[in-house]
Structure 1
Amino acid sequence: MEQLTKLGYKKTELGWITEDWEVLELKDAVSFLDGKRRPIKSEYRFRMSGQYPYYGASGDIDYVNDFIFDDHLILLGEDGENILSRNSPLVFQVKGKIWVNNHANVLKPKDGLENLTYHEVALL
């Protein structure tokens, strides 16, 4: 293990990680914006058809004519069939104008962590 230190790694509570990484709790790395998400019933989405992606637990599922977020965000599916089947990613990054329903958690990287990727979130 001493050789790992020489190669640019450090020992943490999670094990050996690269020296330039920092171990954070998720709450210290992102803000949770779940209170802003809103579901739209499919019959209403039909009437709201538009250019903005409408996201759920498995990714974009429709397009609507309005948005509730305009940012770089990380979405984390919270329920549904995909949790068991894993047919789609459970965590994905989105940028720009979007609408998110109540089946995906909305995480915004905090200042200084804007380049946080969903791969790094998975390690938190």
Structure 2
Amino acid sequence: MGLLANYKKSEVVIEKEKFDSKFDYADFSKEDKEHLIELEKKAIYTGNLLKDNLKELGDVFLEAQKIFSNNKNGMFGKWYENLGFKKDFVYLCLDRKQLSIQYDSTTIYKLPDRVIKDLKKN
């Protein structure tokens, strides 16, 4: 069962008048164009879910990191690795969360990973 198994067309609330694709589908048949636009809507829907989940993961990792640091046992890394997460991903989530707090902005979640890493260096 895939990520979009529970996706239903009715869940994506994008009215045709409001949905403005920036891609030029002029070279496609009407059927292919409609199908590609539906896939574009799914991509946007799933992308928004991903952004929401990244925010939530940042909250989870930050809270867990605080608990582990209070116990000073150095087990935070073992904990998230046991959950199947890689160090780079976890710390990128933490960096996004901390930057969103620092700048009081959710725009941080729209920025590419490279920009987050560069911001964190500064």
TM normalised by structure 1 equals 0.26
By percentage of residues, which structure has more helix? 2
Point out the structure with max Rg over C-alpha: 2
Give TM-score, length-normalised by structure 2. 0.26
The structure richer in strand per residue is 1
